[in-house]
């Protein structure tokens, strides 16, 4: 429940912030490990709950920061390095913050070389964030969250760039209130809220796409608010984001922002029902971005305009909302927001707004929504937009007392007041939203590459056809639409529902042409589809006719297992099957696959080289429980396929694969050179890498093993030779393999005519242009 922020609220919030800062001493990082996992000290949840119950205003707090005292790469207990191939290394750190609903990380210093990728992996399938070097715009980085109390940070990097990696973690945010799952009255958004997928949102699809919620840090606490992507008179895609001054008003706070797009229910849950009051289970917003610059802010109308550090991900289907700075009184209004950081909702006011001071006081800085006719707002909704009957932004949420179960008011800072604000570019909107000083006081919304003046929708797509082409794919095709509005046809939106007579369609993708493959579907299942076209201005056509298709029967191998990394939370109905694969390196021993922890009966099947069935396998474990094990004392190098078969229904199952690799060189019979040597492009001479062999007697064997690791982007360019001490040449690779990447192979050479001792050389020549690489290492096994 949100309440009006009276003038005393500022003092109360300051006191609240001081209390949290004092609590930070209790959450100082403790350097102690449990089974290789760094365990952080848990915050005092009872104290936090007491503080939250006394808070009378301000943004919605969901977490507290645990100070890690600037842990740097290389510090004792802070992660481990492992070599995953001759060309690549991986650093990983496991961390746990007991009872956390979510975890996110403040990298007080981070430098990723071009080849590096950062993976933040939480608990459960799909709960991970992949970040590459191009996503980092400065030395600091605030990560998106992952769900649960445990996380693993992994950084993979090319061997040659490993030394360039810099990493320091300043704090970890312990999310004690679930942003995406409800557990108590403090965490659930009210059931009277209305999903944007409901009919109330049908006329507002563009505006819905412009709304994102965001997390940010202030002091030692983490908060959540809502904001809106807003357009400007140049029609550019500059990512200006309008939100509330009371959420963020300084660059220090703005720098910590992480914005999440398109977290919303794909179906309409009946307002007032228990499902409408329960956040979506174990879901994470797919598209996120970090970092921003404060452009303008002013407390009088409670606005802040920030510019996001990166372009909005195209997969978020962004829309730049239009705006109205005339000050004309709206005859009706709509608010689109994220209550308590939960899924996106819509609130509808059918009556005219009135001009007011904040909280109903004197003044003209705010719009007053007398009472909502559908839906409401809550903590976490702060900063969200208010649109008039013409679908133009007229303000952003400051606060109010509206909630499920009452007819009280909300107050929005007026965009027309923010337009001139405090009289300077840092305190008003006009410089940013009208960069060319056109004098416009209103402007329509648009999408990237669109003509904001185009209001003509494309024609309806025709002749939709659907075909179940496999057990997990349905292929769609249709006839093209046309567009006469001037902005041009931009593409097609594909919607799907499940079942032979379903009607609850939701969008599953977009297409630029007149065909689309819908993948990742369930076998032997009927799906219904419809398609509509959209143009560059964001206008949508009507829907095509409905087409249906049923996927074929069968299963497909899918998810990857990694050595020692469990997959948890698995479940299945009687007769269902889950497929996994694991790549096992040469020399691995004691390969074991285990399942455990289930409440039902799941059997384990393993086969090397191909997918197992219940009648074809290398190992089957099928006790009356789900605690199964398949072991191989000497493993083959290659891919093992693993199947979990439900003899009866089960849930809560864990699956893990483990193996040992002996990396100890075999003494005087083994010689290697791991120094990198660059291979010049299109050069007939090539380069050499030498190994000096001594201490051997007689000649080399007839089965000399030559192991070669070369990193290259087109191995069809390469000629690789072994040159014996007397100059004899043994060809290993002669421009085969076409466009494949890299050579990692062991060759057997009959070198029985060659003296073993002396300098052996590996010669590599690149005989075509453009693609380049290097020798990563090689070895001789006598």
Lowest mean pLDDT among 212-226, 472-486, 712-726: 472-486
Instruction: Determine what percent of the chain is predicted with pLDDT higher than 70.
Output: 88
Candidate list 115, 301, 309, 382, residue with the active-site label? 382
Cα–Cα distance, 614 to 604 (Å, whole number): 9
E strands, 647-757, are 650-661, 670-673, 677-679, 683-693, 704-712, 718-723, 729-734, 743-749
How much is the pLDDT for 54? 79
Q: Does the pLDDT at position 188 exceed 60?
A: no
Q: Tell me, what DSSP letter sits at residue 14?
A: H
Cα–Cα distance, 84 to 103 (Å, whole number): 27
Cα–Cα distance, 650 to 638 (Å, whole number): 30
Q: Read off the tokens for 750.
A: 């009959």
Lowest mean pLDDT among 51-60, 242-251, 254-263: 51-60
How much is the pLDDT for 328? 93
How much is the pLDDT for 190? 59
Mean pLDDT of 496-523: 88
How much is the pLDDT for 279? 58
Candidate list 104, 195, 209, 302, residue with the active-site label? 302
How is the chain split into domains, by residue range? 9-175, 194-443, 462-550, 559-661, 667-781
Q: In terms of pLDDT, which residue wins out, 721 or 488? A: 721
Active site residue 382: yes
Active site residue 302: yes
Q: How confident is the model at residue 543 (pLDDT cuts 50, 70, 90)?
A: very high
**Backbone region of residue 64 per phi and psi (left: phi > 0; alpha: psi in -120 to 50; beta: other values):** beta
Give yes or no for a contact between 469 and 476, defined as CB atoms under 8 angstroms apart. Answer: no
Closest listed residue to residue 248, CA positions, set 213, 294, 310, 312: 294
Give yes or no for a contact between 429 and 312, defined as CB atoms under 8 angstroms apart. Answer: no
Q: In the block, which residue shows the tokens 């990560």?
A: 143
Q: In terms of pLDDT, which residue wins out, 232 or 678? A: 232
Give yes or no for a contact between 661 and 585, defined as CB atoms under 8 angstroms apart. Answer: yes
Q: What 3-state class would DSSP assign to 79?
A: coil
Lowest mean pLDDT among 111-120, 371-380, 557-566: 557-566
290-321 pLDDT, tens per residue? 999 999 999 999 999 999 999 998 889 999 99
Q: Name the CATH superfamily, with its identifier, for domain 667-781.
A: Galactose-binding domain-like (2.60.120.260)
Cα–Cα distance, 718 to 722 (Å, whole number): 13
Cα–Cα distance, 177 to 55 (Å, whole number): 15
Candidate list 174, 246, 366, 398, residue with the active-site label? 246
Q: Does the pLDDT at position 278 exceed 80?
A: no
Terminal-to-terminal C-alpha distance of the chain: 75
- Provide φ and ψ at 131, rounded to 5°: -130, 125
559-661 and 667-781 have identical folds: yes
- Number of helices (H) and strands (E), helices first, in the chain? 6, 54
Give yes or no for a contact between 371 and 408, defined as CB atoms under 8 angstroms apart. Answer: yes
Q: With b meaning 16 or more CB within 10 Å and e meaning fewer, what string describes 49-85?
A: eebbeebebbbbbbbbbbbbeebebeeeebbeeeeeb
Give yes or no for a contact between 729 and 723, defined as CB atoms under 8 angstroms apart. Answer: yes
How much is the pLDDT for 4? 33
Q: Does the pLDDT at position 18 exceed 60?
A: no
Cα–Cα distance, 512 to 533 (Å, whole number): 10
How much is the pLDDT for 563? 78
Mean pLDDT of 76-90: 84
Instruction: Compute CA distances 702 → 41, 180, 511, 691, 705, whole Å.
Output: 61, 64, 58, 19, 9
Q: How confident is the model at residue 14 (pLDDT cuts 50, 70, 90)?
A: very low
112-153 pLDDT, tens per residue? 888 889 999 998 877 889 887 777 766 889 999 999 999 999
* Strands 117-121, 128-132: pairing kind: antiparallel
- 681 by Cβ neighbours in 10 Å (0-12 / 13-18 / 19+) ranks as middle
Cα–Cα distance, 189 to 371 (Å, whole number): 18
How much is the pLDDT for 8? 26
Cα–Cα distance, 388 to 399 (Å, whole number): 18
How much is the pLDDT for 187? 41
**Average pLDDT along the chain:** 85
Q: Does the pLDDT at position 379 exceed 80?
A: no
Sign of the CA dihedral running 697, 702, 705, 710:
positive
Q: Read off the tokens for 658.
A: 């483990």
How much is the pLDDT for 35? 52
How much is the pLDDT for 29? 38
Active site residue 506: no
Candidates 2.40.30.10, 3.20.20.70, 2.60.40.10, 2.40.110.10; CATH matching 462-550: 2.60.40.10
Q: Does the pLDDT at position 23 exceed 50?
A: no
Mean pLDDT of 765-778: 85
Q: Does the pLDDT at position 97 exceed 60?
A: yes
How much is the pLDDT for 52? 86
Cα–Cα distance, 604 to 626 (Å, whole number): 8
How much is the pLDDT for 597? 86
CA dihedral of residues 486, 489, 490, 491 (deg, nearest 10): 160
Q: Does the pLDDT at position 186 exceed 50?
A: no
Candidates 1.10.3720.10, 3.40.50.300, 2.60.120.380, 3.40.50.880; CATH matching 559-661: 2.60.120.380
Q: What 3-state class would DSSP assign to 27?
A: helix
CATH 3.30.365.10 fits 194-443, yes or no: no
Q: Does the pLDDT at position 403 exceed 80?
A: yes
Q: Read off the tokens for 623.
A: 């006790």
Cα–Cα distance, 201 to 540 (Å, whole number): 14
Mean pLDDT of 685-694: 88
Q: Tell me, what DSSP letter sits at residue 675?
A: -
Contacts of 246 (CB under 8 A, 6+ apart): 5, 57, 58, 59, 299, 302, 382, 398, 399
């Amino acid at each position: 429940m949100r309440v009006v922020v009276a003038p005393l609220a500022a003092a109360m919030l300051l006191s609240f912030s001081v209390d949290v800062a004092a609590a930070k001493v209790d959450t100082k990082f403790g350097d102690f490990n449990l089974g290789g996992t760094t365990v952080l000290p848990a915050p005092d949840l009872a104290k936090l709950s007491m503080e939250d119950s006394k808070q009378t205003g301000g943004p919605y707090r969901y977490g507290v920061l645990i100070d890690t005292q600037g842990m740097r790469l290389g510090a004792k207990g802070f992660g481990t390095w492992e070599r995953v191939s001759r060309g690549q290394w991986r650093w990983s750190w496991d961390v746990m913050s007991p009872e956390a609903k979510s975890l996110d990380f403040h990298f007080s210093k981070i430098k990723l070389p071009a080849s590096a990728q950062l993976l933040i992996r939480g608990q459960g399938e799909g709960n991970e964030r992949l970040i590459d070097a191009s996503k980092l715009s400065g030395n600091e980085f605030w990560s998106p969250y992952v769900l649960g109390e445990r996380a693993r940070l992994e950084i993979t990097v090319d061997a040659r760039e490993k030394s360039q990696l810099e990493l320091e973690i300043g704090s970890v945010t312990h999310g004690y209130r679930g942003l995406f799952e409800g557990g108590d009255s403090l965490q659930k958004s009210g059931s009277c809220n209305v999903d944007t997928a409901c009919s109330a949102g049908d006329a507002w699809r563009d505006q819905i796409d412009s709304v994102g919620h965001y997390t940010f840090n202030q002091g030692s606490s983490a908060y959540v608010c809502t904001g809106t992507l807003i357009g400007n008179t140049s029609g550019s895609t500059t990512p200006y984001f309008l939100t509330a001054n009371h959420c963020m008003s300084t660059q220090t706070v703005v720098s910590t922002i992480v914005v999440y797009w398109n977290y919303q229910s794909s179906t309409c849950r009946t307002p007032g029902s228990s499902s409408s009051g329960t956040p979506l289970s174990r879901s994470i917003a797919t598209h996120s971005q970090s970092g921003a610059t404060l452009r303008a802010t002013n407390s009088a109308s409670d606005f802040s305009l920030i510019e996001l550090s990166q372009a909005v991900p195209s997969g978020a289907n962004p829309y730049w909302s239009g705006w109205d700075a005339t000050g004309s009184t709206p005859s009706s209004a709509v608010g689109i927001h994220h209550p308590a950081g939960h899924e996106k909702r819509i609130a509808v006011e059918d009556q005219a707004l009135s001009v007011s001071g904040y909280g109903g006081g004197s003044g003209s800085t705010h719009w007053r929504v007398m009472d909502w006719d559908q839906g409401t707002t809550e903590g976490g909704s702060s900063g969200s937009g208010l649109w008039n009957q013409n679908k133009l932004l007229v303000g952003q949420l400051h606060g109010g007392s509206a909630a499920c179960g009452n007819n009280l008011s909300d107050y929005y800072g007026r965009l027309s007041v923010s337009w001139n604000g405090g009289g300077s570019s840092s305190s008003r909107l006009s410089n940013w939203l009208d960069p060319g000083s056109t004098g416009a006081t209103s402007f329509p919304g648009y999408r990237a590459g669109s003509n904001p003046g185009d209001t003509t929708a494309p024609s309806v797509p025709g002749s939709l056809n659907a075909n179940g082409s496999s057990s997990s794919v349905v292929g769609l095709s249709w006839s093209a639409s046309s567009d006469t509005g001037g902005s041009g046809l931009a593409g097609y939106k594909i919607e799907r529902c499940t079942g032979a007579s379903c009607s609850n369609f939701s969008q599953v993708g977009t297409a630029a042409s007149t065909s689309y493959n819908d993948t990742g579907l369930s076998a032997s299942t009927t799906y219904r589809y419809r398609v509509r076209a959209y143009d560059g201005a964001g206008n949508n056509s009507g829907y095509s006719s409905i087409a249906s298709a049923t996927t074929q029967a069968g299963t497909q191998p899918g998810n990857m297992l990694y050595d020692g990394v469990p997959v948890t939370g698995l479940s299945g109905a009687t007769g269902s099957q889950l497929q996994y694969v694991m790549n096992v390196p040469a020399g691995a021993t004691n390969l074991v696959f285990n399942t455990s922890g289930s409440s039902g009966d799941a059997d384990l099947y393993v086969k090397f080289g191909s997918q197992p069935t219940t009648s074809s396998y290398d190992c089957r474990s099928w006790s009356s429980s789900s605690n199964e094990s398949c072991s191989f004392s000497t493993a083959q190098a290659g891919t093992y396929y693993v199947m979990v078969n439900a003899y009866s229904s089960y849930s809560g199952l864990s699956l893990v694969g483990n193996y040992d690799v002996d990396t100890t060189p075999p003494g005087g019979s083994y010689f290697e050179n791991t120094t990198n040597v660059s291979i010049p492009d299109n050069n007939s001479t090539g380069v050499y890498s030498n190994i000096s062999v001594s201490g051997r007697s007689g000649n080399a064997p007839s089965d000399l093993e030559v192991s070669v690791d070369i990193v290259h982007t087109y191995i069809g360019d390469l000629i690789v030779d072994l040159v014996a001490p007397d100059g004899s040449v043994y060809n290993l690779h002669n421009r085969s393999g076409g466009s494949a990447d890299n050579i990692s192979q062991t060759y057997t050479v009959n070198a029985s005519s060659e003296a073993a001792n002396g300098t052996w050389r590996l010669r590599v020549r690149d005989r075509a242009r453009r693609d380049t690489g290097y020798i990563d290492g090689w070895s001789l096994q006598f």
